[in-house]
């Protein structure tokens, strides 16, 4: 059974493995720094006690939210796990009265774009050469103040 819970420091190695498999190309030490700054936004998904996915949701200085990272272990994709973990992040943001959440996604990352569009994100801009290999990013945003959308929820402990 999939269970969503807060990240704990002992999950770090597992999270790094998932991030590497997903080729997120982010500095893992930043994950720990973000956890220290905003532990309420770092969620993991567990399958029978094993961490199989994570989301790092942070706050921006203007009070908006930002999804910094999301990834699911390859063996566990297309089971709604990213949707469940992101929905926990949206709940957290709504509790904090965050007006919107945004993220960047590679223009060629169609699976992630489809995931985000399905969750109510819309494209609000293009960030040219945003990634180190020169690929552009789409900037996507989701309004958090409208009525809640029906969604898949995991068990949150
Ligand atoms: C993107 C990612 C997080 C999705 O995780 P996931 O747990 O498989 O996503 P979900 O099962 O919640 O998918 C929800 C919906 O997103 C879309 N989606 C997800 N993966 C997809 C794929 N490979 N192809 C097409 N659509 C996809 C579908 O609409 C899916 O609904 P469906 O399965 O009912 O058709 C995962 O593929 C991943 O870790 N990718 C590598 C890291 C990455 O790209 N992160 C995002 C960086 S911005």
- Each domain of the chain, given as residue ranges in start order, spans 2-156
Confidence of residue 138 (pLDDT cuts 50, 70, 90): very high
- Whether 68 shows a pLDDT value over 80: the answer reads yes
Question: Which pLDDT score, from 0 to 100, does residue 146 have?
Answer: 73
Closest CA relative to residue 142, chosen from 61, 67, 39: 67
pTM of the model: 0.94
- How far does the centroid of ligand 1 lie from the alpha carbon of residue 78, in Å? 6
Cα 72 to Cα 77: distance, rounded to the nearest angstrom:
6
Ligand 1 atom 28: the closest Cα is on which residue?
115
What is the residue-averaged pLDDT of the chain?
Answer: 95
CATH value of 2-156 in 3.40.50.1370, 3.40.50.1110, 2.20.28.120, 3.40.630.30: 3.40.630.30
Confidence of residue 152 (pLDDT cuts 50, 70, 90): low
- Whether 157 shows a pLDDT value over 80: the answer reads no
Please say whether the dihedral angle defined by the alpha carbons of residues 104, 82, 60 and 16, taken in this order, is positive or negative.
negative
Residue of 68, 111, 119, 130 to test ligand 1 pocket, by largest number of atoms within 8 Å of CB: 111
Residues 6+ apart with CB under 8 A from 13: none
Spatial strand order in the sheet of 42-47: 122-127, 137-143, 100-106, 65-72, 50-59, 42-47, 2-6, 155-156
Confidence of residue 47 (pLDDT cuts 50, 70, 90): very high
- Whether 55 shows a pLDDT value over 60: the answer reads yes
Higher pLDDT, 127 or 157: 127
Predicted confidence (pLDDT) per residue in 77-135, tens digit: 999 999 999 999 999 999 999 999 999 999 999 999 999 999 999 999 999 999 999 99
Per-residue DSSP letter, 150: P
Residue of 20, 86, 109, 112 to test ligand 1 pocket, by largest number of atoms within 8 Å of CB: 112
Ligand 1 atom 23: the closest Cα is on which residue?
111
């Amino acid at each position: 059974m999939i269970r969503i819970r807060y990240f704990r420091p002992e999950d770090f190695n597992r999270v790094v493995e998932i991030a590497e498999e997903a080729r997120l190309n982010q500095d893992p030490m930043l994950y720990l720094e973000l956890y220290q700054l905003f532990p309420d936004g770092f969620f993991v998904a567990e399958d029978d006690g094993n961490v199989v996915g994570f989301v790092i949701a942070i706050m921006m200085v203007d009070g908006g939210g930002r999804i910094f990272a999301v990834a699911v272990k390859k063996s566990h994709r297309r089971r709604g796990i990213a949707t469940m973990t992101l929905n926990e992040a949206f709940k957290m943001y709504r509790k904090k009265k965050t007006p919107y959440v945004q993220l960047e996604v590679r223009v060629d990352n169609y699976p992630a774009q489809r995931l985000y569009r399905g969750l109510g994100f819309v494209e609000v801009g293009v960030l040219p050469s945003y990634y180190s290999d020169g690929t552009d990013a789409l900037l996507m945003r989701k309004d958090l103040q409208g009525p809640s959308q029906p969604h898949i929820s995991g068990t949150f402990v």
